Structure 1
Amino acid sequence: MFNKYYNYSIEEFKTLDNSKEIWGMSNTIGEVKNYVVFLEEDNINNLDISFIHNNYPYNVRIIRVLMVDSSKRNSNWHLMAEGFESDLIVLDEKDKKVLYYSPYNETLAAQIDHVLDYKKKLDHEKRINRSSKITIALILINIIMYAITAFFSGNILDSDVRVLIYLGANENTLISSGEYYRLFTSMFLHGGLLHLVLNMYALNALGPAVERAYGKVKYLIIYLIGGIIASISSYLFSGGVSIGASGAIFALLGAVLVLALKARTRGGKEMLKNILSVVAINVFIGFALPNIDNFAHIGGLVGGSIISWALAKKDF
């Protein structure tokens, strides 16, 4: 970014004892050639500047950027700043922000801040888009179960209902006869490839965000207990065979809804409106289209919201 936006060239510097190479950059403004060198506390006095002054007819200016970790008690950058008052910028590597700059270095300090803000945004976007290990594991379990279902069904696009029941689908008469495990196993079965793909897409979109907000253990509790509550809701209010991860996914949606509610006084009103819109649209689709277990969705949403609200007050 320094090269793209501010016309700097990358430079390589050496220490006086030739123990390591140091990176930096340079640019030319009028008759002045500026060298910006990024240094650590242990090598700020070990920079070889002998070759830098061979830049006739330019005047040379050397600006040291000291990279520190201000959280460390043994950091003595304040003392170092006093020794290099003329051209020094102090940069906190951990928090990625400028802590200090000497007079006449406001422009470069602002440029460094801009680059650091841009990098923080990129890192944040990468974290958002990166699936968590737990989400990946849940997706793999669902895919494996669908592969088993497809194998016994003899069809990769649609699942045989008899196979689904055999593998643990949510079926009222069987649950009433004592097969309560179906309230859990039905969460990992799907009626077709499209059903699986849509649910896994939603899980990948919501899962990492919920894990970051609540942590791994709470995330699993919300997903699994919320999914079981969704299955119980389906058992109580629906008939027929019920399968799919959508109840557990609605539990995650409930967790995000709780986050939005808690953040509504801190600029989260727009987020809350978006979440409520998603919930309303999905509930409408559930009632409007056939073969969608809307009671499981509602049960998962309510269950996930209640569990998330309770877990937000507990530490694991």
Structure 2
Amino acid sequence: METNVQRRTSNAESRPIIMNLNHIFLFLAIVSSLLVLARVWRPGAVAAATWRIAALIVLAITGVTWIFWRGTAGYAGGCVWFLLLFLPAVGLRKMTELATQGNYESARKLGVALQILHPSPELRDQIRLFRRLESQAKYRGVVGPAAVDHEATRSQLRYAPAVLVLILLNAAIFLFEISVGDSNDPEVLHRIGALEPYAVVVQGEYWRLFTALFLHGGLAHLGFNLFALYVLGPPLERSIGTMRFVVCYLISGLASGAGVIGLTLIGLVRPAQLVGASGCIMGIVGAWAGFLMRHRHAAHARQRLANVVIIVAIQIGFDLSTPQVSMSAHLCGLVAGFLLGLVLTPQPKPA
């Protein structure tokens, strides 16, 4: 998300903008639960029953806390969402990866642990299957897959070098931010390179278009952006290549800032101080959309494009309900990335 901070140019004191985590988690718990229900609510779909129940529990707890303890409803809903929806989804995916690598013992142990949060009949059947496969592997004298797992882990570390470097770079710059002052203080952000239309247009400080991409207004702002980069970045980098990914990331971010300045000059948005990498990240989302539209006949392209549309819809809904973020910056980055995606070609596969 791109933090939108009003910075006063008069002698009045600038107030730091603190992101409302309760609001963010509330939005996340409600919207993600509704999306789960929309995907799995099919009559007679027994396999989806556990997910339906989990999503309904998240909504129920969030709703009750909203009625009685509104100030903590987001935190309560977010915690339940993390335990009942997020962790099981990530864990089941990891369990499948382990089984694919032949590491049935680790897959079984992970499945047993996941049963605490996701006690579904399908998971119990998978655990029994892994137990049989594990016994068969030991009976045949198959060497454990530790070496294979090690190689897989190492390859995953090399999977998206640009994403890894960008995550480390953003984290390092945030450490610099907090070393010079409060990362939520507009005056501190101004001194170290936040994007401000007046400073760029009138004072010619064009470098702010670049530096603002690596600044963040607080740890929560940084965390959400880096998590989004970690989730969305690697698949695109693998598809188009590292150098193209970096170019797409930076051009989208620069276009995001330039677009906001242009909209400010014509009076469509109010002058504000901007920081954050979300213009770049929305550029990644847009690039995915353009890339998938160009190659829409490829396998799974339509389903992935539908997922991108859902991400954009969620982001727009969040922007409309959260005054601390800049929808204009997000949309400008999205459009820039989309245009780039239309001309991107897949990375050539090694011979």
**TM-score, with normalisation over the residues of structure 2?**
0.53
C-alpha displacement of 1:267: 3.8
Q: Give the number of equivalent residue pairs.
A: 208
Equivalence for 2:303: 270
Select the residue among 241, 244, 256 that pairs with 1:215. Answer: 241
Preserved CA contact (<8 Å) 2:160 2:234: yes
- Percent of residue pairs identical: 29
- Of 153, 163, 169, 1:135 maps to 163
- How far has the Cα of 1:294 moved from its partner? 0.8
Aligned-partner Cα distance in 2 for 1:128–1:249: 21
**Residues of 2 paired with 1:230 and 1:285: CA distance?**
18
SS of the residue 1:312 aligns to: coil
**1:148-196 CA distance string (max 9 Å, x none):** 111221x4xx421111111111101100121111111100001111000
Q: Deviations over 1:175-220 (max 9, x none)?
A: 0121111111100001111000000000111111111011011000
For 1:66-145, list aligned pairs within 5 A.
132-145=160-173
Task: Provide closer, same or farther for how the CA distance between residues 161 and 7 of structure 1 changes in structure 2, counting only shifts above 3 A.
Answer: closer
Distance 1:152 1:275 in 2: 38
Is residue 159–residue 238 contact of structure 2 (8 Å, CA) maintained in 1?
A: no
Partner of 1:183: 209
279 and 130 in structure 1: CA distance in 2 versus 1, 3 angstrom threshold: farther
Q: Structure 2 vs 1, CA of residues 3 and 295 (structure 1 numbering), >3 Å: closer, same or farther?
A: closer
Q: Greater strand share, 1 or 2?
A: 1
Deviations 1:214-263 (A, max 9, x none): 10110000000111001111212242101100000001111221233245
Residue matched to 2:323: 290
The separation in 2 between residues aligned to 1:301 and 1:220, in whole angstroms, is 15
Other-structure match for 1:245: 277
Which whole-Å CA distance do the structure 2 matches of 1:181 and 1:281 have between them?
31
1:147 aligns to 2:189 (yes or no): no
Deviations 1:61-112 (A, max 9, x none): xxxxxxxxxxxxxxxxxxxxxxxxxxxxxxxxxxxxxxxxxxxxxxxxxxxx
Q: What secondary structure is seen at the aligned counterpart in 2 of 1:170?
A: coil
Change (3 A) 1:212 1:228: same
Deviations 1:19-43 (A, max 9, x none): xxxxx79xxxxxxxxxxxxxxxxxx
CA distance in 1, matches of 2:347, 2:301: 23
Structure number with the bigger relative contact order (C-alpha 8 A, sep ≥ 6) is 2
- SS of 1:186's equivalent in the other structure is helix
How many angstroms apart in 2 are the aligned matches of 1:5 and 1:231? 58
1:136 & 1:210 partners in 2: Cα distance?
13
CA gap of 1:165–1:313, structure 2 versus 1, over 3 A, is same
Question: Residues 234 and 242 of structure 1 are in contact (CA less than 8 Å); yes or no, is this contact kept in structure 2?
Answer: no
How many Å separate the matches in 2 of 1:124 and 1:7? 20
4+ long deviations beyond 6 Å: 122-130
Q: Give the conservation status (yes or no) of the 8 Å contact 2:241–2:347.
A: no
**Unaligned 5+ residue runs, structure 1?**
12-23, 26-119
Structure 1 Cα separation of the partners of residues 137 and 162 of structure 2: 44
Structure 1 Cα separation of the partners of residues 211 and 337 of structure 2: 18
- The aligned counterpart of 1:261 is 293
In terms of fraction of residues, the more helix-rich structure is 2
Task: Name the CA distance, whole Å, in 2 between partners of 1:285 and 1:161.
Answer: 23
Residues in 2 aligned to 1:197 and 1:307: alpha-carbon distance in whole angstroms:
26
Query: Tell me, which stretches of 5 or more residues in structure 2 are unaligned?
Result: 1-101, 103-131, 264-268
Q: Distance in 1 between matches of 2:160 and 2:301?
A: 24
Q: Residue deviations 1:8-63, cap 9 Å, x none? A: 6345xxxxxxxxxxxx79xxxxxxxxxxxxxxxxxxxxxxxxxxxxxxxxxxxxxx
Cα RMSD, aligned residues only: 3.2
Larger Cα-atom Rg: 1
The 3 A distance-change label for structure 1 pair 199 and 262 is: same
